[in-house]
Structure formats: C-alpha cells, structure tokens
Homo-oligomer: A and B are copies of this chain.
C-alpha cells in the first residue's frame, strides 16, 4: 500500500532513485505507516499476506487479477484475452485515494456535479445529466505507470507490468453538450479541470491529496461524463457513479466520482497536477514545466503465448493501441526484433481510442523464442525499442521491455 502512497507523494517521499529493497525498508518506517493508516490503507505486508480483493471490488474476477494492494489491482497478462472489450470483472483498479462509500452508487441518480468557469454556473444531478444527451465511446484506460515494473532504476509506485490497462465502452453525455446548456465556457478558459469526490483526510493540506487534474481544452471535443462502463452502471471501483472520460489520455485524467468540472485559465495547483505525473529525468523532482501525463503513446504487447507453446503452428495474440491516434499496424517478431511480420487485427474496430487485438499465425519448430510486437499509429508514430528513462517510470512503451521469452517443445 506504501506503493500507492509513493505515487501520491512522489515529490516528497523519495525524490532520488531507489531500489526495491530501499522501498521495502521504507514500508517499515513509522512515518510511512502513519500516513498509510491515515488514508485507511492496508500496509504492504498485510496486503501481501492476503492478496484478496477488497470489499468494494469483491465482484471482480480474482483469478484474472494481481492484487497489489487494496487500491491497486492489475489484470494478469494471461487474462487479457483476445477480445476488444475487457470484461468489467477483469478491468484493473487504481485508486489514488480510497473510494467513497458505496452509498453513492446506491443512490446514483442523486449524485451531483458542479460546473464552474461557465457563463451560467450550475450544479446538476446525474439524473439531470442523463436527459441532456448520450454517446458511447470505447477507450483504452491505462495507468501512467503501466510498464513501470520493467524500469531498472526502481521507481517507486505499483510495479505494474502490462495489466494496468483495459479497453472499455463508456456511455454518458458529451461534456460539450453539457457546456452548451450553460452558455459555454468563460473567456480565457484553456483547461478542463476535474475534481474527484474522494473524502480527504482531515489535518492535511487538501492540495497535496485531492485528485484534481487539468487537461487542455481541446479534449472538450471528445470528453464524456460517463455513467456506464461496458453497458452496466459504472461501478464504484472504476469511478462510479460518474467519471470524466478523456479518450486517449492516461487514466489519472479520467476523474472518478467527479464532483466538479471547471473551465480554467490555468492548470490546477493540486500536487497531483503540479508536480505529480510529470516526465523528468531520474533523480529530478516534479514541477509544472515538465510534460504532464496527458496523451498516451502508441503501444502493444503480446498476450499469448507467454512462456511455453507446442511446436508447429501457433497463433500469437496481443493488443495494440495508439492513444489519441488510431493504431493502424502491428508487427510481430519471434526472434527478438530481427525479422518482423505484419499481424492481422482481430474483431471489430471500436474507434480510434480502442485497442485492437491482433493475431499472427507462426510456424514454430522446437526452440527458444523472444516474441515482441511493435505498433504504428495513423500519424506514423512507431512503438520504440527502448523505454524513455524517467524518474517515476511513466509511459513505458518499449517493445523490447514488453516482449516475452517462450520455450516451444
């Protein structure tokens, strides 16, 4: 659970590179444990013991998930499957703070959202939002730190491999349609700033804890206030009753339990925006001038086979996506990147923000293979061989890191 705290407090807990053993030591420190209990979180040792789903996510498929902590659960690589939509029971969970009480789901239509920085500010209930309009969009939801586990410098935070990502269908009202009912944004607005409805522990500066993120106003074209995931009411574990969805942007921008939407001239000074979720060199502290974790990059990985296969014809499966630009090609190599073949996309295209499962048939005599995949998006961006080293281990789309070593016998 310290892991999650590290994510939240990344600029204060430990700015310099740290090894895994160093982080483990930190778990035992009095200060760290105090913070943990303040947020109602389970210390790492206990989470490791149990590894069971927390109550609010009990309905998820335990065998499809790696339970890192009570607030971080990753989809197993072998449970991603070959379909476009990730079943809700398999969708990863990553909460920056413990979720609000499930009462907010029981009475979902009464949930309300305040709109600020608009000509006619209003507070609307979910029931009222549902009458304004509706659209569905399929997006990859991916944590900024997905792939962090492949970094060698030991960035703090959950050691996600590939499964802090899923592809889901959101249904809700386009934010721009809501904005129209309020006369539009006030002059000078350059950002959409969303605030989550998590309860903040007393006695700490709210700015250091609040989940409040700003994204460029251009995201208004596609932003959705979603009340359904995969055709069912959005569950608490994934941000229900209402979540701000910014297609093609990293998960953290998709504000759960969204309570306030503000059209602002500047980015919020909340820590999670000002210094958190920033790309910077290893050892450097976060600050507002560094790139923010907004648009996702082009990425793919193999989902099967992962360790062994039987000799002869094999189907190699994976998923590929392009962030804000649709993925147009994915290549697969079974010899670690020396030779590539273009794979075939599998199933329907659910739009530019969805991932596309892919498949390639390969004849594989007995032996050892390194299977890697490399995606290209419609702007010509190609998944790179190497990761971009960065302090927090964000945005890893290295095709080398995401390869698998498979023994065929």
In the bound assembly, the distance between CA atoms of A87 and B91 in angstroms comes to 14
Residues of chain B lying within 8 A (CB to CB) of residue A317:
134
Q: Is the C-beta of A320 less than 8 angstroms from some C-beta in chain B?
A: no
CB within 8 Å of B: which A347-362 residues: 347-351, 354, 357, 359, 361
B residues near A348, Cβ cutoff 8 Å: 136, 138, 169, 348-351, 354
CB–CB A346/B136 < 8 A: yes
Cross-interface CB contact of A83 among B81, B132, B136, cutoff 8 Å: B136
B315:A357 contact, CB within 8 angstroms: no
Complex: chain B residue closest to A348, CB-CB: B350
Asked if residues B131 and A232 are in contact (CB atoms below 8 Å), the reply is: no
CB distance from A232 to the nearest CB of B (A): 6
Shortest Cβ distance from residue A107 to the other chain B in the assembled complex, whole angstroms: 17
> Min CB distance, A224 to chain B, in Å?
12
- Taking the closest CB of chain B, its distance from the CB of A181, in whole angstroms, is 10
**A144 contacts the other chain (CB 8 A):** no
CA gap between A351 and B351 in the complex, in Å: 13
Nearest-neighbour CB distance to chain B for A360, whole angstroms, equals 11
Do B133 and A315 touch across chains, with their CB atoms under 8 A apart? yes
The contact of A347 among B82, B87, B136, B359, by CB within 8 Å, is B136
Q: Mark A129-159, 1 if CB is under 8 A from B, else 0.
A: 0111111111000000000000000000000
B83 and A169 contacting across the interface, CB-CB below 8 Å: yes
Which of B88, B132, B315 is close to A130, meaning CB atoms less than 8 Å apart? B315
- Decide: A347 and B81 in contact? CB cutoff 8 A: no
| Also in contact, A228 and B131, with CB within 8 A (given A136-B346, A348-B348, A348-B350) | no
A396 to chain B, nearest CB (A): 25
21 contacts between A and B (CB under 8 A): A81-B232, A82-B134, A82-B171, A83-B230, A83-B231, A84-B136, A84-B169, A85-B85, A85-B231, A87-B88, A87-B230, A131-B315, A133-B361, A134-B317, A134-B346, A136-B346, A137-B347, A138-B348, A169-B348, A171-B346, A348-B350
Inter-chain CA distance A81–B361, complex, in Å, is 37
Q: Is A206 positioned at the interface, with any CB of B under 8 Å from its CB?
A: no
Q: A81-B231, A133-B315, A348-B350 are in contact. List 15 more A-B contacts (CB 8 A).
A: A81-B232, A82-B134, A83-B136, A83-B169, A83-B230, A86-B231, A131-B312, A131-B313, A134-B315, A134-B346, A134-B359, A135-B347, A136-B346, A171-B347, A348-B349
Alpha-carbon gap, A133 to B82, bound state (A) = 12
Is A314 at the interface (CB under 8 A from chain B)?
yes
- What residues of B have a CB within 8 angstroms of the CB of A231 in the complex? 81-87
Q: In whole angstroms, how far apart are the Cα atoms of A134 and B344 in the complex?
A: 10
Instruction: Name the residue of chain B whose CB is nearest to the CB of A167.
Output: B231
Neighbouring B residues of A130 by C-beta, 8 Å: 315
Residues of B within 8 A of A138 (CB): 347-348
> Considering the chains assembled together, what is the distance between the CA atoms of A135 and B347 in angstroms?
6
CA distance A204 to B83 in the complex (A): 42
Tell me whether A131 and B169 are in contact in the complex, defined as CB-CB below 8 angstroms, given that A87-B231, A136-B347 are known contacts. Answer: no
Given A130-B315, A315-B130, is A346 in contact with B135 using a C-beta cutoff of 8 Å? yes
Given A136-B346, A136-B347, are A81 and B228 neighbors across the interface (CB < 8 Å)? Answer: yes
Q: Is there an interface contact between B131 and A347, defined as CB atoms closer than 8 Å?
A: no
A138 (CB) vs chain B CBs: closest residue = B348
**Complex contact A82–B315 (CB within 8 A):** no
- Residues on B with beta carbons closer than 8 Å to the beta carbon of A133: 315, 361
Q: Nearest-CB distance from A302 to chain B (Å)? A: 15
| Interfacial residues of chain A within 70-101, with CB under 8 A of chain B in the complex | 81-88
